[in-house]
Structure formats: structure tokens, C-alpha cells
Amino acid sequence: MEENIYYHVISDIPKTAGEHIILDDKHPNGVHKRVYEQMAVVEDIYKNPQKYRNTELSHSVDVALRELALEKVRKEKYPQYPSRMAALYVSKTFKEAEQWGDYFAKLGRPTYGIAKIRVNGNIFEGDAYKCFDGCVDETENIRMAEIYWLNGPNEDGREPIVEILADGDIEVVEIVKEINANI
């Protein structure tokens, strides 16, 4: 494990300088909570896919289907990478973090600021373009998850939108920008 400095958009829960965030199998993140709130629906979809074929799934169910497929593939083929359900999403530069912060604020997500953080854990640099909406076809979700973790070039030549996953012991070094949470 390496120690690295990154930037993190503080959203959902305010953070303070000096705070340590532990993320691992025993300490999941908010994605984990939101995914597991949808488990009954996900299980029903996979048991009765025909029942959902012509139904528009809610965003939270789409995300749960995606994240569960991503986690299954990660555990089976890429266990060295952080789990998306037990990681902090970080940026290499302050500018990249500002762009993510602007994006979150436009979505209406509570956004409090940007922190400089020190990561003592594992890192995975992925491409947000390869995040997909989950569907009722589990095989297709697994196929798309494998594309995400392989992390090759985009088929259409687009530059990746870098999303970095970090786990382990993460220290908030300083709050470098405060943002009005109601933007």
C-alpha cells in the first residue's frame, strides 16, 4: 500500500481537518447502503426478469444492479482493487475535484467543500464513462462490469473521465475549499 495525496469532494456528510475515514470490507460507504436498500427488488428482478422486461427501473435500482455486478466481478477477478461500495471517490488535482463538485451541486447533492486527503490504502483509476445503467439481464450487467474493471481505451476514442477509488485509512489533511451545501 502506498501513501498518496488526493482531493475529495465532501458531499453528504461534512468532514473536518484531521479526521480519519476508514474504508474496507467492514467499513463500507454510502453507495453500499443505497445498494443494499434495493436488494429485495434486485433479487426479484433476477428471479423474474420477464416481469420487468418492459418496466422502467428507478435510478436507485439501476445503480444497485450495476454496483452488484461490479462488485461480483471485482471480487472474482480484481480483488486487489478497492470496492466501489467501500471506497472514497477522489481526484488527482484540485481542479478535477472542483469539476466533480460542480457536477454534484448541479444534481442537487449536498456538497460541502473540497478536502486535501492522504490515502494510505489501495487505489484504482477507472473511467466514469464505463459506468453503466444496470438492466434486468444479469449476464449483460456482468459483461459491462468486466469492461469497467479491464479499464481499456474507450471504443469510441473518447478521453476517459477519471474516477479514482481509494480505500484504507484516509486522512483529511485540510479543507481547501468550502462550498455552500445548497448550491
| 65-105 pLDDT tens trace | 999 999 999 999 999 999 999 999 999 999 999 998 888 88
CATH code, domain with 30: 3.20.170.10
Task: Read off the pTM.
Answer: 0.89
Tell me how far CA of residue 131 lies from CA of 22, 136, 177, in angstroms: 24, 16, 28
Residue 141 within any structural domain of the chain: yes
Please state, in angstroms and rounded to a whole number, the distance separating the CA atoms of residues 54 and 98. Answer: 39
Of residues 107 and 21, more confidently modeled: 21
Domain count across the chain:
1
pLDDT, residue 183, reads: 41
CA distance 122 to 124: 7
Residue 183 lies in a domain: no
**Which residues 6+ apart lie within 8 Å of 26 measured at CB?**
none
Contact 44, 103 (CB under 8 A): no
